[in-house]
Amino acid sequence: MGKKSKSGKASSPSTANGSANLLADEAELQALVAKASELKSEANGFFAKKEFSKALDMYQQAASSYPHDHPEKPQMFCNKAACYTMLKKPKEAAKECTNALAIAPGNAKALLWRSKANEAQGLYKQALSDIQALNKTQDATPETQSAEQRLKDIMSGKAKAGPIQGARTAAKPGSARQQQQQQQIPPFTAKCTFGDDTRVVYLTHNTTYAELVNQVKQKFPNAGNIAIKYKDKDGDSVTVTSRNDIHAAMAESLAAMERRSGLGNVTIPPVRFEIVKANDQAEEVFELDDWLIDFANLFREHLGIGPDRHVDLHNEGWEKCTQALDAAVQSEKAGPLFDQAAARFAEVTASGLYHWGNVHMCIARKHVDSLAASGKKVEDIIPDIKQEFDKAEEKYQDALRYKSDFYDGAVGMGQLFFERAKLHTGLLIPSTPAGAEGASAKEIQDITNQLMREALGKVTEDKAKVAEELFDKAIEYFKSAITMLPAEEADAQPKPPAENGEAEEISFRAQALVMWGNVLYEQSQVRAAVGGKNWKELIDEAVAKFNEAGCQQSDIRTALLNHLKKDEIEIPPEPEPEPEKERAGKDEGQAASKAEKAAAQEASEPEKAPEAPKGGLTALAPQKKGAKKGANQK
């Protein structure tokens, strides 16, 4: 007997090497699968964020990493098809589904996505074939069965190409009968001939020129730029450039069917299109159909267009802008720009608070003007007026806190303390005193001046002492307002008064000077009313401010004539009137410019000037030259 074999106890060297190689291959395979799974997870994340291009690239890398027989490989092709669908590339989506089906025939997801891709290209027969194959498997759902019935209805002409389930209710009610007639028209068969090759496409009543060109290019992918022609009833060649031309070609087929109907043949003959190469430089013609806007959502869904694509583009663009902005923010040049932006926002905030305070000042003025109608005395409404003054002061102070060199805020505070002083001394007079309704402007002014003199006669030394402090605070604010102006305006020399008596290009500095002069004017009257000293120095200083502001001499003279101590004031004589001929010549030369200025003033709607104190000058309002800048702004 021979010796027993020892092969069951020991392996040969070649067998051992083969086992080692097998283990190495398995380790490498596991590494590839792990890498592919990681790429798949990244791709899923990009897809969830609607970054379909990045997801597509990751799915491609994952598909390349998976072995050919791995169950996840066809899934990657299906995921690529989903990305192509979202990127409005149904042709590429269908190709990826075909790759998946080559590895895993009958893959439900691949059949579903390829059906959608074919339907988006107008290939309803192929789409129906895929969805029918899917519905024969256990993966069929009510949605896929509904899609199969919808495609059958489209092929039979019972429904339009596109989404159903009430989508047609977006059409106008008046076109219901027309829609019913269109739904009864079956799809037209069109035979397209390019050289010696003839292919079939299908047309519906809603087929547009762009859709027809897309179908033809699918049939003849190497044709390049093409032109589509058909022959009309007269035998003339007509180039299709719009949906109306497609309808005309379909009408020719219907007419041919009607001519044959007497012979018992009711089949619609195919529309015959001749496909010819077009000039490479020729521009394609696009038609904006009148119903395109109303049915935009229907077409987007039918063609596979993502309705949120514009949002994706917006987000992508904003991401790029953010990246650029982040880089710009880190630049050394960004600091001054931020400072300027903050200053502008502070000025806007301060301006809003200033106007808010003005509202309360207007309410206080309304209380004073209502005295004539209500029959009340000033003493009865003092609490209401003080309450509005307090609210206005709060807003003005807030404005100055936001912008310490805010000119309007300082002017508002100055005017507020001026009004407080007049309220304390009883010098607030209604714009239209009681009994002056319907009177002329001169009569109202005379009554107002008389009431002012009576009020001054009632001022006591205690009231005058408190008012002095309020007047001084008002003057301090007007002084500070001038310092807040830009240097070139704060130091500007006054312009001589215009010869025609109109104030032209009144500056903000002149406005503050006039209001400053008005405070001095009223302060001199109050001081004179109680027998105080130095009242004349105050009126002289007020006149100096009026002159510095460039006020008309006639206006200054009128104000002095209304002063309580006019008899003790040296009032300049009234200017002599100009000769008639000279004045007439000036009037003719200024007529046109006055009309233009009036029109410009009405168009620009300048801000209403602050109310003048009774007996003082009208507070001048500067023309608008843009936003007022503080002293530190340039």
Whether residue 148 is contained in a domain is answered as: yes
Of 40-44, 60-64, 261-265, 363-367, the range with the lowest mean pLDDT is: 261-265
Tracing tokens 């009883």 back to the chain, one arrives at 426
Do 565 and 467 reside in the same domain of the chain? Answer: yes
Please report, for residues 30, 58, 294, 490, the alpha-carbon distance to residue 172 in angstroms, rounded to integers and kept in the order given: 61, 45, 9, 67
Quick one: 410 and 545 in the same domain?
yes
Average pLDDT for residues 359-386, to the nearest whole number?
83
581 or 86, greater pLDDT = 86
**Burial (CB count within 10 angstroms: exposed 0-12, middle 13-18, buried 19+), residue 50:** middle
> If you average pLDDT over residues 129-136, what whole number do you get?
89
User: Average of pLDDT values for 515-543?
Assistant: 91
Give CA–CA dist 569/563, Å, rounded.
Answer: 9
CB atoms within 10 A of CB 252: 18
Q: Could you give the CA distance from residue 384 to residue 369 in angstroms, rounded to a whole number?
A: 13
Q: With bands split at pLDDT 50, 70 and 90, how would you rate the model's confidence at 35? A: confident
Domain shared by 139 and 211, yes or no: no
What is the band of 164 on the pLDDT scale with cuts at 50, 70, 90? very low
Tokens of 114: 């390829």
- Mean pLDDT estimate for the chain: 76
Helix (H) or strand (E) holding 237: strand 237-239
What CATH number does residue 80 fall under?
A: 1.25.40.10
pLDDT at 592 over 50: no
Tell me how many domains the chain contains: 3
Higher pLDDT, 301 or 560: 560
Percent of the chain with pLDDT over 70: 70
Range of the structural domain that residue 565 is part of? 335-594
Give SS3 for 58.
helix
Residue appearing with tokens 């880089």? 327
Taking the C-alpha atoms of residue 208 and residue 211, their distance in angstroms, rounded to an integer, is 5
> What is the SS3 assignment for 271?
strand
- Under a CB-based contact definition with an 8 Å cutoff, are residues 252 and 230 in contact? yes
Q: Are 271 and 207 in contact (CB under 8 A)?
A: no
pLDDT at 169 over 50: no
Distances (CA, A) of 494 to 49, 118, 243, 551, 556: 66, 82, 74, 10, 16
Which of 274, 289, 304 is at the close of a domain?
289
The whole-angstrom separation of Cα 631 and Cα 619 is 23
- pLDDT over 70 at 283, yes or no: no
Tokens of 494: 């006054």
- Choose between 27 and 54: higher pLDDT: 54
Q: In this predicted structure, what is the pLDDT of residue 225?
A: 86
Contact 511, 621 (CB under 8 A): yes
532 close to 601: Cβ distance less than 8 angstroms: no
Instruction: Tell how strand 188-194 and strand 271-277 pair up.
Output: parallel
pLDDT confidence band for 269 (50 / 70 / 90): confident
Whether residue 630 is contained in a domain is answered as no
* 250 and 203 Cβ atoms separated by less than 8 Å: yes
User: Based on the number of CB atoms within 10 Å of its own CB, is 155 exposed (0-12), middle (13-18) or buried (19 or more)?
Assistant: middle
Rounded CA separation 396/412 (Å): 7
Q: Which residues touch 388 (CB under 8 Å, ≥6 apart)?
A: 360, 361, 363, 364, 367
Closest C-alpha among 546, 507, 508, 506 to residue 524: 546
Asked if residue 497 and residue 374 are part of one domain, the reply reads yes
> Do 138 and 205 share a structural domain?
no
Last residue of some domain: 227, 260, 289? 289
Same domain, residue pair 281 and 360: no
Contacts of 471 (CB under 8 A, 6+ apart): 417, 418, 421, 519, 522, 523, 526
| The pLDDT of residue 174 | 42
* Integer CA distances (angstroms), 537 to 316, 388, 421, 525, 540, in order: 72, 33, 19, 11, 5
105-109, 188-192, 354-358, 590-594: range with highest mean pLDDT: 354-358
User: Is pLDDT larger for residue 66 or for residue 260?
Assistant: 66
In a domain, 609, yes or no: no
617: pLDDT strictly greater than 70: no
| Per-residue confidence (pLDDT) for residue 458, from 0 to 100 | 86
Residue 194 DSSP code: E
In a domain, 7, yes or no: no
Looking only at the bridges linking them, the beta strands covering 271-277 and 226-231 are antiparallel
Domain membership flag for residue 623: no
Q: How far, CA to CA in Å, does 293 sit from each of 122, 180, 209, 284? A: 21, 21, 17, 21
Can you read off the two tokens belonging to residue 261? 């109907």
Angle between helices 72-86 and 108-120 (to 10 degrees): 20
Query: What average pLDDT does range 52-78 have in this prediction?
Result: 87
Residue scoring higher pLDDT (308 or 240): 240
**Which range, of 106-110, 477-481, 511-515, averages the lowest pLDDT?**
106-110
100/37 same-domain check = yes
Most confident of 70-79, 293-302, 447-456: 70-79
Output Rg (C-alpha) for the chain, integer angstroms. 45
Average pLDDT over residues 456-474: 91
CA–CA distance from 140 to each of 111, 136, 137, 280 (Å)?
11, 7, 6, 47
The angle that helices 72-86 and 90-103 make with each other, rounded to 10 degrees, is 170
pLDDT of amino acid 612: 42
Residues 348 and 207 grouped into a single domain: no
Bridge partners (DSSP) of residue 227 are 276
Task: Please check whether residue 451 is in contact with residue 429, taking contact to mean a CB–CB distance below 8 angstroms.
Answer: yes
Q: What is the pLDDT of residues 304-343, one digit of tens each?
A: 555 555 566 666 777 777 777 777 778 778 788 888 888 8
Residue 158 lies in a domain: yes
Alpha carbon distance 560, 569 (integer Å): 8
- Domain final position from 234, 261, 289: 289
User: Which runs of E-coded beta strand occur in 82-231?
Assistant: 188-194, 197-203, 226-231
615 has pLDDT over 60: no
Q: How far apart are CA 90 and CA 119, in angstroms?
A: 9
Q: What is the pLDDT of residue 23?
A: 53
The CA distance from 478 to 610, in Å, is 14
Reply yes or no on whether the pLDDT at 401 is more than 90: yes
- State yes or no: pLDDT of 163 exceeds 50: no
Q: Which pLDDT does position 445 carry in this prediction?
A: 81
Asked if the model's pLDDT at residue 47 lies above 60, the reply is yes
Angle between helices 334-369 and 407-425 (to 10 degrees): 20
CATH of the domain at 206: 3.10.20.90
Helical ranges in 203-308 per DSSP H:
209-219, 243-260, 296-302
Q: What is the arithmetic mean of pLDDT over 610-632?
A: 46
Q: Is the pLDDT of residue 191 over 70?
A: yes
Higher pLDDT, 577 or 404: 404
454, 545: one domain: yes
Contact 205/182 with Cβ under 8 angstroms? yes
How much is the pLDDT for 626?
A: 43
> Do 247 and 157 fall within a single domain?
no
Q: What would the mean pLDDT of 102-113 be, rounded to a whole number?
A: 88
The helix (H) or strand (E) run that includes residue 395 is helix 378-402
- pLDDT band for position 608 (cuts 50, 70, 90): very low
Asked if 432 and 369 touch (Cβ cutoff 8 Å), the reply is yes
